[in-house]
Amino acid sequence: MSRLPILVAACLFLYHLPSPFAAETDSPTTAYSLLQSYNFPVGILPKGVVAYDLDTSTGKFHAYFKDSCSFSLVGSYQLNYKSTISGYISENKLTNLTGIKVKVLFLWLNIVEVIRNGDEMEFSVGITSANFGIKEFLASPQCGCGFECKELKTETYDTSLPSVSSS
Q: Which residues of this chain interact with ligand NAG, rule CB under 6 A?
A: 95-96
Judged by beta carbon, residue 68 or residue 95, the one nearer ligand NAG is 95
What residue is closest to ligand NAG based on CB? 96
CB 87, min distance to ligand NAG, A:
9
Judged by beta carbon, residue 30 or residue 95, the one nearer ligand NAG is 95
Is residue 42 within 8 A of residue 35, CB to CB? The reply is yes
CB 83, min distance to ligand NAG, A:
21
Pairing type for strands 113-117 and 120-124 reads: antiparallel
Cα distances (Å, whole numbers) of residue 75 to 71, 72, 112: 12, 8, 23
| Phi and psi angles of residue 136, each rounded to the nearest 5 degrees, phi first | -70, -10
Half-sphere exposure of 50 (CA within 13 A, CB side): 9
CB 96, min distance to ligand NAG, A:
4
Judged by beta carbon, residue 62 or residue 153, the one nearer ligand NAG is 62
